[in-house]
């Protein structure tokens, strides 16, 4: 099954797609936001075209774990997605992914002007990869025999 990861911002949406074994997340082109309905339809279309079985959306939380204003916007976006797709839409804690994405790009010597769109893509990759890794670990734990 394939997973689609999203880093939803006010200006852009970073996108990542897993391979069919749900092992590796790869970045897809970042979407420039054009309007709520068009944005939702574009993600729904991408979900169908790639035969995605689950959407993973980064949910920004404050340091205390609470959902702030940006988190509320993402939750509303997720509600809109649920109306358009027939697959689960899962929230995944994305605290620090944008900072980590920026640091990764800086360490990779990506010039400042090229980082703007790339940071959203890298953040989406980080969100999805952490979710895939979590799923693999949880599945392995569930298969362990109990004494």
Q: What is the pLDDT of residues 53-97, one digit of tens each?
A: 999 999 998 888 889 999 999 999 999 999 999 999 999 988 756
What is the average per-residue pLDDT within 104-132?
77
Q: What is the CATH number of the domain that holds 76?
A: 3.30.420.140
Distance CA 37, CA 94 (A): 24
C-beta separation of 51 from 61 below 8 A? no
Checking if the pLDDT of 105 tops 60, the result is no
C-beta separation of 6 from 56 below 8 A? yes
Full domain range(s) for residue 46: 2-143
Q: How many residues does the chain have?
A: 147
| Total count of domains within the chain | 1
How are strands ordered across the β-sheet holding 89-93? 25-32, 12-18, 2-8, 52-59, 89-93
Distance CA 11, CA 128 (A): 20
Beta-strand runs (E) in the chain = 2-8, 12-18, 25-32, 52-59, 89-93
Distance CA 140, CA 3 (A): 19
| pTM for this predicted structure | 0.86
């Amino acid at each position: 099954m394939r997973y689609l990861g999203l880093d939803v911002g006010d200006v852009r949406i970073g996108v990542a797609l897993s391979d069919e074994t749900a092992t590796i997340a790869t970045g897809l082109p970042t979407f420039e936001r054009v309007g709520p309905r068009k944005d939702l339809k574009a993600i729904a279309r991408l979900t169908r075209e790639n035969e995605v079985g689950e959407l993973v959306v980064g949910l920004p939380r404050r340091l205390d774990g609470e959902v702030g204003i940006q988190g509320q916007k993402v939750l509303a976006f997720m509600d809109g997605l649920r109306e358009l797709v027939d697959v689960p839409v899962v929230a995944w804690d994305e605290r620090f992914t944008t900072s980590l994405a920026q640091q990764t790009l800086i360490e990779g010597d990506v010039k400042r002007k090229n980082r703007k769109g790339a940071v959203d893509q890298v953040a989406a990759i980080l969100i999805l990869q952490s979710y895939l890794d979590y799923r693999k670990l949880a599945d392995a734990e569930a298969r362990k025999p109990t004494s």
